[in-house]
Amino acid sequence: MELERAQRTAEAVVKQLSPYCKKIAVAGSVRRKKPWPKDIDLVLIPDDLWNFHAELTNLGQLKMSGKKIMRLMVGS
């Protein structure tokens, strides 16, 4: 995906998840402004875990979930 599209998507996801997080930041290739990032990485500390998880499931399809990492497919 093009960097501009990845940045717009990352900003939208951060805006949607930020009410449920103590901290949230864009990381990885989008933060480094690579021209063609393959994914969007976010680093965050959830504050309201119950509603945070509910909001994640509203965002897209959960692909992987563990104690410290979640992978979510958003859009196409």
The 10s digit of each residue's pLDDT in 25-76 is: 999 999 999 999 999 999 999 999 899 989 988 887 777 777 777 777 877 5
Q: How many CB atoms lie under 10 A from the CB of residue 25?
A: 13
For the stretch 10-21, pLDDT in tens is: 999 999 999 999
pTM, two decimals, is: 0.84
Residues 6+ apart with CB under 8 A from 56: 17, 62, 70, 72
Distance CA 1, CA 6 (A): 7
Measured CA to CA in angstroms, residue 5 lies from 41, 65, 69 at distances of: 14, 25, 23
Handedness of CA 31, 32, 37, 43 (dihedral sign): negative
Q: Enter the tokens of residue 62.
A: 């959960």
